[in-house]
């Protein structure tokens, strides 16, 4: 995978935006199907659908029936947040490479947290309490993650300011049990509008470990779906590009009504699998 090829794929002229009617239809399908699926779940239960869960249901559905391990911080959970901050600092010319940036950025975040008690990213208290060597392991993980992404893209080709990370897109479905869809992309790239009206257009870039597997189109489409549901007044992202640095591969999907519909169907199937697994554990 060459940086200029991936960058060109991200910046390719977008297709015509999806019509309001098509968008509404996908939303309607979801709001129609989901409430009935979750009504028998135990009171207070909730279902959160993420890209990771979609992939898990497709590849290891048995994992849904295994008890969840209690959350504990790991370097892999910090690398994205710290790595994106380091890349942001590089884009703004504060540092020349992510390796240089991660240490100062982590120190700055920890001291900011110590000073204010405010949790910007939420990992600060954890790494503040770590042994210095363990902290360096966290930094190494973030530096490697960010360096790989940094060297995969030709950053000079982006004319407009990029979004890096940022809050997840979220949409909650009105139902007896809470169902939330959460979409997370690493980059949000403004695209040059080529259609009448000059509508705002965006490409999302999603970074994943491993190798692209069957169903990658709807998985990437899921991120556009959540963005579309979250804010009906905001245009649907025109494109989602998936990057698998371990494999040196990328995939790009232009968002059409067909892709959104397929992503919606995948969400419904995923919720069905989650509900079945939980109900089997209850019984």
Partner 1 sequence: MLVMDIDRREEKGGAARRETAESKSRVMGSWTPLAGDALLDRLRVTGRPRPLADPDRAARLRETIERGLAQGTVANQGGPRDQSPSPTPLVITKDRLTRALSPGVHHDAIGFGVQPPTTPMACGALIDVLFRQLVTIGSIGDPMSDGLAALALDDRQAHLIAWIDSLSGTERGTLAAEVDRQSIALVNRWPTLDPAWLPRTQLPIRVDVAAGAVELSGRVDLAIGRPGLNVASVAIVEVKSGTRRPEHRKDLHFYALIETLRSPAPPFVVATYYTRTGELDIDPVSDELLAAAVRRTVAGARALGQVAEGAAPSRLPDQQCGKSAVLPGCRPGRQRVTADIGGYRR
**Binding site residues, partner 1, CB under 8 A:** 1-3, 59, 74-75, 96-97, 99-100, 103, 130-134, 136-141, 143-144, 147-148, 150-152, 209-214, 216, 246-249
Identity of the residue, 235 or 245, whose beta carbon is nearer to partner 1 in the bound complex: 245
Identity of the residue, 23 or 135, whose beta carbon is nearer to partner 1 in the bound complex: 135
State in angstroms the smallest separation of the CB of 135 from partner 1: 9
Identity of the residue, 95 or 222, whose beta carbon is nearer to partner 1 in the bound complex: 95
Half-sphere exposure in the Cβ direction for 57 (13 Å, CA): 21
Q: Which residues share a beta bridge with 173?
A: 179
Identity of the residue, 94 or 234, whose beta carbon is nearer to partner 1 in the bound complex: 94
By the 8 A CB rule, do 95 and 89 touch?
Answer: yes
State in angstroms the smallest separation of the CB of 150 from partner 1: 8
Half-sphere exposure in the Cβ direction for 245 (13 Å, CA): 15
State in angstroms the smallest separation of the CB of 243 from partner 1: 13
Tokens of 32: 């129609």
State in angstroms the smallest separation of the CB of 137 from partner 1: 4
Identity of the residue, 115 or 131, whose beta carbon is nearer to partner 1 in the bound complex: 131
State in angstroms the smallest separation of the CB of 249 from partner 1: 7
List the beta strands (DSSP E) in the chain: 46-49, 163-164, 169-173, 178-183, 187-191, 201-207, 239-244, 249-254
Q: Burial-class residue 39 by CB neighbours within 10 Å (0-12, 13-18, 19+).
A: exposed
């Amino acid at each position: 995978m060459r940086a200029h090829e991936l960058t060109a794929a991200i910046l390719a002229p977008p297709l015509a935006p999806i019509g309001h009617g098509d968008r509404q239809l996908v939303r309607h399908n979801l709001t129609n199907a989901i409430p009935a699926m979750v009504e028998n779940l135990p009171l207070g239960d909730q279902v959160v659908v993420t890209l990771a869960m979609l992939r898990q249901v497709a590849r290891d559905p048995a994992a849904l029936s295994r008890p969840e391990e209690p959350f504990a911080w790991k370097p892999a959970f910090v690398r994205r947040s710290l790595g994106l901050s380091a890349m942001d600092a590089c884009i703004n010319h504060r540092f020349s490479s992510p390796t240089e940036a991660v240490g100062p950025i982590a120190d700055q975040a920890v001291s900011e947290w110590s000073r204010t008690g405010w949790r910007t990213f939420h990992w600060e208290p954890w790494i503040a309490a770590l042994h210095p060597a363990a902290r360096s392991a966290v930094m190494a993980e973030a530096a490697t993650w960010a360096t790989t992404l940094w060297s995969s893209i030709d950053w000079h080709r982006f004319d407009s300011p990029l979004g890096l990370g940022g809050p997840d897109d979220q949409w909650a479905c009105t139902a007896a049990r809470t169902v939330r869809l959460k979409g997370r992309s690493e980059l949000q790239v403004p695209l040059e509008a080529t259609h009448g009206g000059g509508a705002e257009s965006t490409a999302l870039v999603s970074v994943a470990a491993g190798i692209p597997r069957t169903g990658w189109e709807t998985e990437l489409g899921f991120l556009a779906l959540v963005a579309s549901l979250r804010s009906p007044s905001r245009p649907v992202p025109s494109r989602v590009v998936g990057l698998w640095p371990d494999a040196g591969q990328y995939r790009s999907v232009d968002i059409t009504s067909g892709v959104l519909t397929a992503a919606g169907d995948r969400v419904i199937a995923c919720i069905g699998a989650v509900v079945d697994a939980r109900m089997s554990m209850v019984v």
